[in-house]
Amino acid sequence: MPAAPTILFAGDIVGGLGRRTLLGLLPQLREQFETTFVVVNGENIAGGLGITPKLADELLAGGVDAITLGNHTYRRAEIIPYLDSGKPIVRPANYLATQPGRGWTVVEKDGVRLAVVSLSGNLHLRAGRVAFLEVESVLRELEGKADHVLVDMHAELTSEKVAMGWHLDGRVTAVVGTHTHVPTADARVLPGGTAYITDVGMTGPRGGVLGVKKEQSIQSLRTHMNVRYETSDEDPWINAVVIRCSETPRRAEAIEQVLAPWRPAPQAAGRS
């Protein structure tokens, strides 16, 4: 295997502003961290809910190597055929076998094969199979197919994500948590050599509530009435991690957080 790769993983990309934040910052981040692979969670990119083929193509054309999803995978019907088109986009592996898409993909660069696996938590999220059992089948399928393995554990509860980190420690390169949109301060390499973080956070408007306009969220919480949510356009940030892989297959040397604002020219920020 060639020199150890570096992976940049960006947390849930929220809306058009999140997409522009990622693509706006990506060139300098790739240079700064000398990244080999870029992986993002894209399930909130279409106006906050779901993803479309056009947006997925835009990410892939902009330097993203693989896209992970989660509970909003099927929000946009037009994405369904795309999920089975062979593109590097994955929905949780522990969904029902009858649901469209696949749970892992392998992307190759500079002679290194990176497997990207999506899992959904089972607590407070609808996933047909148990993540802790299904991941064993995935790892069996990946035997001999990948030099490094990145697992996106898309889950509501911190406990479930921490447990998955321990469950896979020493067997995969990294377990990164997504879905709750708030970055946690526990990034570390576990004793067995697996890079871990409970939640990478969100790439998009930090000036809202998990990506939506704060006034609308507060109104809903104050009035208990239905409120139409729109994505916020305030204070875009990228929340990501950089994982330095080991020369030993499926192990990591280091993980560090990348939490940075995007300050574009006004016309670039304002576009929809």
71 binds Fe ion (CB under 5 A): yes
Binding span for Fe ion by CB under 5 A among 94-102, 107-115, 179-187, 202-210 = 179-187
Binding span for Fe ion by CB under 5 A among 68-76, 96-104, 155-163, 264-272 = 68-76
Residue closer to Fe ion by CB (options 70, 236) is: 70
Residue closer to Fe ion by CB (options 29, 51) is: 51
251 binds Fe ion (CB under 5 A): no
Please state the closest distance from residue 238 (CB atom) to Fe ion, in A: 18
Residue closer to Fe ion by CB (options 70, 211) is: 70
- Crossing angle of helices 53-61/15-33, nearest 10°? 20
Please state the closest distance from residue 223 (CB atom) to Fe ion, in A: 25
Please state the closest distance from residue 48 (CB atom) to Fe ion, in A: 10
Residue closer to Fe ion by CB (options 5, 50) is: 50
Q: Is the dihedral of CA 226, 228, 234, 240 positive or negative?
A: positive
CB count, 10 Å around CB of 25? 23
Per DSSP, 73 falls in state: T
70 binds Fe ion (CB under 5 A): yes
Q: How many residues bind Fe ion (CB under 5 A)?
A: 3
Binding span for Fe ion by CB under 5 A among 18-26, 92-100, 171-179, 222-230 = 171-179
CB count, 10 Å around CB of 224? 8
181 binds Fe ion (CB under 5 A): no
Q: What distance in Å separates the CA atoms of residue 105 and residue 240, rounded to the nearest whole number?
A: 20
Residue closer to Fe ion by CB (options 70, 183) is: 70
Among 179, 206, 250, 251, the residue binding Fe ion under the rule CB under 5 A is 179
* CA distances, 189 to each of 141, 174, 175, 186, 207 (Å): 25, 8, 10, 10, 31
180 binds Fe ion (CB under 5 A): no
Please state the closest distance from residue 31 (CB atom) to Fe ion, in A: 30
DSSP sequence for 78-123 = THHHHHTTT-SEE--TTS-TTSSS-SEEEEEETTEEEEEEEEE-SS
CB count, 10 Å around CB of 80? 14
* CA distances, 244 to each of 30, 107, 124, 253 (Å): 13, 17, 32, 6
The one catalytic residue among 72, 148, 154, 181: 72
Token representation of residue 8: 């940049």
> Does residue 72 have an active-site annotation?
yes
Catalytic positions, please? 72
Which residues in this chain contact Fe ion in the complex, by CB under 5 A? 70-71, 179
